[in-house]
Amino acid sequence: MMKRVCLALALVLVVGGFNLGFAQQSNYIEPTSDNYRKLVDGKQVDLFTIKNNKGMVVKITNYGAKIEQIKVPDKNGTIADVVQGYESIDKALGGQGSMGAFVGRYANRIGGARFTLGGKEYRLAKNNGENTLHGGEKGSRFCVYDAHQINNSSVEMFYTYKDGEENFPGTLATRVYYEVTEDNALVVDYQAYAVDKNTVANFTSHSFFNLSGNLGSEILDHVIFVNASRFLPINDSLIPTGELGPVDNTPMDFRVPTPFGARIKNDYVQLKLANGYDHHWVLDKKTPNELSLAASAWEPKSGRFMEAYTTEPGLQVHTGNNLEGKNSRDVGKGSTFIFRSGFNMEASRFPDSPNKPAFPTTVIKAGEWFSGKTVYKFSVK
């Protein structure tokens, strides 16, 4: 009799603990391939699942090469989704354009929506005030990639930018490769080839993370480290001024792990200009192009810990300042994405580099390759 009572009690505790672990996600909607199969611009869209043998699952659609789900465990072994996204292609089409996307041909901003290359001025779409953002009106975040599932843990996607597309010069063939490794890392590996003309290019992975597993909760308690002693100060249109500003004695210094919320409301002009953090950090690297630690994030309640490694020279950190809880743009997978409910760690070359000769070049010459890699590794502590 006593054994039965103990067994019953144990079951109640286990089931109760399980339910408590998922209480934050009680209305969660799982993205499925069936809900992503649709023709967009005459091309087939689908949802691809990659995973490892330890329970980590990532789902990616070839519409914008967007990451729609990342499932990883917390300190108690409870697996939950830690990236904002949408449960269907219809939701994604009406959602945040950059959410989860692999962004090109030029990620981030180009000031004045123009640049000069080889003595010729190129005028671009003004889709962010007076600036061009994330490749223009229809950068790759709104395009359908060709996709090929390699195996259970990896998928590759291809997109070729046409000469003159969004008024950028040159045909540019690109490949992005996603892999989930056995040590709970998501690898984003990418290459670009300038087929016929010199061009400019900049790429990034644009996921909105929330390590709590509650995708509609604020991220201000997340403890952040950024491996950078300098950042790029911005003007009132969020374009870098061209300076490399020291982070010392400013709210931009994350060399000692600090919660987002600790200083985000400080009386500091850079935070006011961006309505929070939306800045590019110049990563401290021993050698250019090395794959090195750029940043980390830790959510204390769940214990989830994420490290970001990259070959890129810079990292844009954004605190979801444009999330507003609007229906249907900010509603996905059963959650409402309120103000500052997700953060980005976008590794890339510097914004507005085509107009800043002192910045590392973003020119890819005709016949040349460019390659980069960013790794998001998950654990607990």
Query: 105 and 165 in contact (C-beta within 8 Å)?
Result: yes
156 among known catalytic residues = no
In total, the chain counts a number of residues equal to 381
Cα distance from N-terminal residue to C-terminal residue, the chain: 40
Catalytic residue among 68, 179, 312, 346: 346
Which letter does DSSP use for residue 27 in this model? T
Query: 247 and 256 in contact (C-beta within 8 Å)?
Result: no
346 among known catalytic residues = yes
Q: Which helix (H) or strand (E) holds 279?
A: strand 278-282
Tokens of residue 357, six digits = 């000769």
Instruction: Report which residue type is found at 23.
Output: A
Q: Which helix (H) or strand (E) holds 16?
A: helix 2-21
Q: In angstroms, rounded to a whole number, what is the distance separating the alpha carbons of residues 323 and 325?
A: 6
Burial of 4-18, coded b for 16+ CB within 10 Å and e otherwise, reads eeeeeeeeeeeeeee
Please compute Rg for the chain using Cα positions: 21
At CA 119, angle to CA 134 and CA 141, rounded to 5? 15
At residue 130, φ and ψ (nearest 5 deg) are -90, 5
Query: 31 and 85 in contact (C-beta within 8 Å)?
Result: yes
Instruction: Report which residue type is found at 330.
Output: D
Catalytic residue among 134, 206, 222, 280: 206
Burial of 112-147, coded b for 16+ CB within 10 Å and e otherwise, reads bbbbebeeeebebbebbeebbbbbbeebbbbbbbeb
One-character DSSP codes across 35-66: GT-EEETTEEE-EEEEE-TTS-EEEEETBTTE
Catalytic residues: 206, 346
